[in-house]
Amino acid sequence: MEYLNTTLLTITASASIPYFPPYSDHKEAAIITPITRKVDPWSIFNFYWKSAFGYGADEFEFVPGTMPMSTLKEAGSWIALYYVIIFGGRELMRKRSPFNLNTAFIIHNWYLTVVSGALLGLFI
């Protein structure tokens, strides 16, 4: 395993990899290809965040006790509600025929894929 870690470190530290971006603190774009070099995902996200909340995403500050789900009571209440819905729904549907929700699942999975891709774009 040590060999793999050393090899990976050597590969990532080498300058022979084309378009390998340096570490970025999201003040500048860390984009991998020259085609997308003009697109800065962080500034796009920051623009929409600012239009929705009135302040930039880089100005966000987590304040315990005032943010949603930041206290044990709130988080515990939502977890309990989740279990009531999951297990209560199972009991309600035990003697009923299943719903056909294939289209809803396809739309839901597509939405999750798009959001995950956007988060990956912000991470890179």
pLDDT at 36 over 80: no
pLDDT, residue 5, reads 47
pLDDT, residue 27, reads 53
Do residue 71 and residue 122 come from a single domain? no
Structural domain harbouring 107? 24-61+100-124
Q: Is residue 55 part of a domain?
A: yes
- For the packed helices 41-53 and 102-123, what is the interaxial angle rounded to 10 degrees? 110
What sections of 14-101 are H helices per DSSP? 41-53, 72-92
Task: Return the structure tokens found at 5.
Answer: 């870690």
pLDDT, residue 31, reads 52
Q: Which residues of 33-64 are buried (b: 16+ CB within 10 A; e: fewer)?
A: eeeeeeebbbeebbeebeeeeeeebeeeeeee
Counting the structural domains of the chain, the total is 2
